[in-house]
């Protein structure tokens, strides 16, 4: 018997809702500060989930990863840590000036209060590193 190709859209054959979003956001939540001291990691992961969930409908935090980043301002020192990766699929129409402003405020606050050299976020297919943080 020959298999038939389905012309139905995935939401139809899955029995799912319409696609929620196509804009991919990936946020790297650090586990340490720039000096290698542990930070209140759970606080920042929860903050990231709350921010992305409120702005874009939902987010998922994956278990801690193993990562390294090079601190060029400190002689190229390699800093190893265990960040949590938070992902979100957003409707591009939800990326309004207000949501941009609220996301920026959270990212800059995390960078400033957690004493980071860089806060990393991927939007779409581009990585953005924030190294200068807005004042409180």
| pTM for this prediction | 0.87
Of 4-8, 72-76, 118-122, the range with the highest mean pLDDT is 118-122
Q: Which of 10-14, 27-31, 52-56, 110-114 has the lowest mean pLDDT?
A: 10-14
pLDDT at site 5: 59
* CB 53, CB 59: distance < 8 Å: yes
DSSP string for 68-114: EEEEGGGTTEEEEE--EEEEEEE-GGG--HHHHHHHHHHHHHHHHHT
Class of domain 23-117: alpha beta
- Digit-coded pLDDT (tens) for 43-71: 999 999 999 999 999 999 999 999 999 99
């Amino acid at each position: 018997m020959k298999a038939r190709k389905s012309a139905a859209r995935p939401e139809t054959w899955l029995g799912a809702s319409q696609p929620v979003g196509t804009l991919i956001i990936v946020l790297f939540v650090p586990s340490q500060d720039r000096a290698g001291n542990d930070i209140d990691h759970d606080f920042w992961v929860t903050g990231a989930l709350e921010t992305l969930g409120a702005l874009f409908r939902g987010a998922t935090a994956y278990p801690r990863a193993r990562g390294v980043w090079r601190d060029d301002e400190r002689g190229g020192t390699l800093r190893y840590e265990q960040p949590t990766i938070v992902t979100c699929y957003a409707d591009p129409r939800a990326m309004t000036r207000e949501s941009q402003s609220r996301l920026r405020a959270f990212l800059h606050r995390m960078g400033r209060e957690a004493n980071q050299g860089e806060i990393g976020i991927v939007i779409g297919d581009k990585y953005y590193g924030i190294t200068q943080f807005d004042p409180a």
